[in-house]
Amino acid sequence: MMISVKDFSFSIGGKQILFDVAFDLPKGAYLSILGPNGAGKSTLLKCLLRLHEKGTAKGSILIDGKPLEGYSQKGLARLISYVPQAGGWIPPFTVQELSKLSRFPYISGLSGLTKKDVEAVDRALETTGLTAMRDRPLKTLSGGERQKAFLAAAVAQETPIMLLDEPASFLDPHHTSEMEKLLIRLNQEQGLSMIAVTHDLNHPAKTKGLALILRKGRVMYFGDVPGLLGKGVLEEAFDHQFVYLENPKSGLPVILAE
Amino acid sequence: MGTSLKIAILIVLGLVIFVVSPFFGLETISPASLLKGLDPGDADVFWKMRVPRAVAAFLAGAGLSLSGMVFQALFRNPLATPFTLGVSSGASFGASMYFFLGGSALASLGGVGPLFASLFGAGLSVAMVWLITSAKGGFSTVIMLLAGVVINFFFSSLVLFVQYLSDSNDSLRIMHWLMGSLSGLDTPRLADLAFVVLAGFVAIRLIAQEIDLLTAGEELAASRGVKVNRVKLIIFITASVVVGSVVSLAGPIGFVGLMVPHACRLILGWSHRILIPAVFFVGGAFLVLCDLVSRIILAPAEIPIGIITSMLGGPFFLWTLFKSQKTGDLF
């Protein structure tokens, strides 16, 4: 599943938010979208999910060469799953019920879940380590566990592409690291293409993936992490100075804000 | 207790209430005398008054409860009801206009006049909520609820204005009707109501899974393949037509759409596949029970059923509000 964004511009209510965004994402890539607040990261993510109906788009977003508008709602849901930002509305469901809802794109008409659907849900809960918590209502979980439940629901959707809106914000270091490991595993072992909006500048290095840096709605950088370091890109994007170190344990680059 | 057992108990309880209700009233009719054959007077009371009335109460309760349930799922707010969204007061305005103009232009519509007038009012209020919210860009729940409150006030004052303009006779009719009552039941129109409420039930049942997903949030629902705007439109149209029909027949009977869905969710949880038939059934039985109480509590006088439901509903509303403030979220 290759995603290709071509000269994509987007405006809402006369205010232009994205300007000629263009990039090609190969199958199985892990893309982190970075940028200062208000740069248009979430808008780009929502456009990729086709969640923005109010607004005018120019240019195109193609998945496997087919424009996004060409997919039916369920067809798109079989291609792209979505993990919302933590800290939003908590649905009144249990962990397992939330994952079961993700099987909607595979259900036709009034029929219920098939054996295949139930197995997919079970697998998703196992992958995310939530099998023991399956019957717990989301409201009774900690923030970290709940975010994992949303991830499990996206996994249960069995899509080749997963989109995440700040998957690890509001989580403590332990849960952040657990979440990251899960996402990396999904990408590297199961071959899912991931696109994550994040404020964590070190996320792309940890995922060994690509970074896209937005500033004022324009792409400032698109490429791998080594190409990003020490070239003043981050400094210009965030209007701030950074220090570049190396993690003595993992050998990965670490970016610190001064 | 298993879900099926809970449902079985609710159905048996509901059936008992529905079957028992017509035997009580100003004069009690015993089941034995029904089996032996009633004298013509009692037979008329039983078959031509009490049974149709129980059916009407059931349909009204089921319709209002279902509408409340879908509005609450749509707005993810337990206080969203046909009333808080202004649909009932819109329908009331339509019906009071009918009473006000009753002798003239609308009279040619005959028996379905109040129905059309109410549907027109309900449609008008929904269109206004829709226009206000979409003008603000997107269907924000907060804006929609606030728009509902404003429209509620607007139509309520229009109803008062119509009442002010009416002569004392019409004004009294409007006032009595506004209390919500099943006493002046227009039996031939029961079939219309049955058709609308059952069609509404089917329409809502067909989108049960979509409603579950909407409860989880609109963006999540869309990302799972739900055509959100289409489902919202179906919910709005269905609920408005059902509420409009109920209001045209029985007046604005308050709080049923708040209490019944809430109680059912407490007992049965959130899966709408189960919730929809349960709310339909419990809502119907609940209003039959309220109607029974309204007929016998001050017999031979009869209190409008809306007063009974409001007396129960007011405290319930407050309880919901306080509970929601304590836990920090509304459901």
* One domain, residues A164 and A123: no
* Contact residues, chain B, for A149 at CB < 8 Å: none
Q: How many domains does chain A have?
A: 2
- Nearest residue of chain A to residue B266 (CA atoms): A92
pLDDT of residue A45: 93
Q: How far is B219 from chain A (nearest CA, A)?
A: 7
ipTM: 0.90
Q: For residue range A175-209, list pLDDT tens digits in order.
A: 888 899 999 999 999 999 999 999 888 888 888 89
pLDDT of residue B63: 95
- Using alpha carbons, select from B234, B208, B138 the residue that is nearest to residue A51: B138
Number of other residues whose CB lies within 10 A of the CB of residue A99: 29
Query: What is the CATH classification number for the domain harbouring A57?
Result: 3.40.50.300
* One domain, residues A99 and A225: no
* One domain, residues A6 and A23: yes
- The answer to whether residue A247 is domain-embedded is no
Please identify every stretch of chain B with a pLDDT value under 70, giving residue numbers as ranges: 1, 102-112, 136-141, 184-186, 321, 323-331
Rg (CA), chain A: 18
- Nearest residue of chain B to residue A161 (CA atoms): B223
B323 near A CB under 8 A: no
Asked if the Cβ–Cβ distance from A51 to B217 is below 8 Å, we say no
Q: How far is B227 from chain A (nearest CA, A)?
A: 6
Q: How many CB pairs under 8 A join A and B?
A: 69
- The answer to whether residue A6 is domain-embedded is yes
Preferred mutation among A47, A71, A73 to probe B, highest tally of B CBs within 10 A: A73
Sheet architecture: strand order including A30-34: A80-83, A161-165, A193-197, A30-34, A210-215, A218-224
- The answer to whether residue A84 is domain-embedded is no
* Contact residues, chain A, for B331 at CB < 8 Å: 92
Where is pLDDT greater, at A52 or B207?
B207
Preferred mutation among A104, A113, A141 to probe B, highest tally of B CBs within 10 A: A104
Q: Give the residue numbers spanning the domain of A110.
A: 93-158
- The answer to whether residue A190 is domain-embedded is yes
* One domain, residues A67 and A51: yes
Asked if the Cβ–Cβ distance from B216 to A112 is below 8 Å, we say no
Where is pLDDT greater, at A88 or A8?
A8
pLDDT of residue A227: 83
A114 near B CB under 8 A: no
pLDDT higher than 80, residue A49: yes
Query: Residue A31: what are its φ and ψ, rounded to 5°?
Result: -105, 130
- The answer to whether residue A239 is domain-embedded is no
* One domain, residues A201 and A141: no
* Residues A180-187: contacts with CB under 8 Å, at least 24 apart: A180/A206, A180/A207, A182/A127, A182/A128, A182/A148, A182/A151, A183/A30, A183/A151, A183/A207, A184/A30, A185/A127, A186/A127, A186/A155, A186/A162, A187/A28, A187/A30
* One domain, residues A75 and A166: yes
* One domain, residues A163 and A72: yes
* Contact residues, chain B, for A75 at CB < 8 Å: 225
Q: Tokens standing for A29?
A: 């890539």
* One domain, residues A61 and A170: yes
pLDDT of residue A102: 94
Q: For residue range A74-98, list pLDDT tens digits in order.
A: 999 999 999 988 777 788 899 999 9
Residue matched to tokens 């919302």: A84
A50 near B CB under 8 A: yes
Q: For residue range B219-245, list pLDDT tens digits in order.
A: 899 999 999 889 988 998 899 889 888
Query: Residue A129: what are its φ and ψ, rounded to 5°?
Result: 70, 30
* Contact residues, chain B, for A77 at CB < 8 Å: 223-225
Q: For residue range A138-151, list pLDDT tens digits in order.
A: 989 988 889 999 99
The span from the first CA to the last CA of chain A, in angstroms, equals 39
Rg (CA), chain B: 20
- The answer to whether residue A196 is domain-embedded is yes
Q: Tokens standing for A111?
A: 């029929």
pLDDT of residue B59: 94
* One domain, residues A74 and A165: yes
* One domain, residues A74 and A189: yes
Preferred mutation among A51, A72, A89, A110 to probe B, highest tally of B CBs within 10 A: A89
* Contact residues, chain B, for A112 at CB < 8 Å: 273
- Nearest residue of chain A to residue B216 (CA atoms): A91
- The answer to whether residue A250 is domain-embedded is no
* One domain, residues A172 and A146: no
Class of the CATH-defined domain B3-327: mainly alpha
- The answer to whether residue A249 is domain-embedded is no
Q: How far is A26 from chain B (nearest CA, A)?
A: 22
* One domain, residues A173 and A120: no
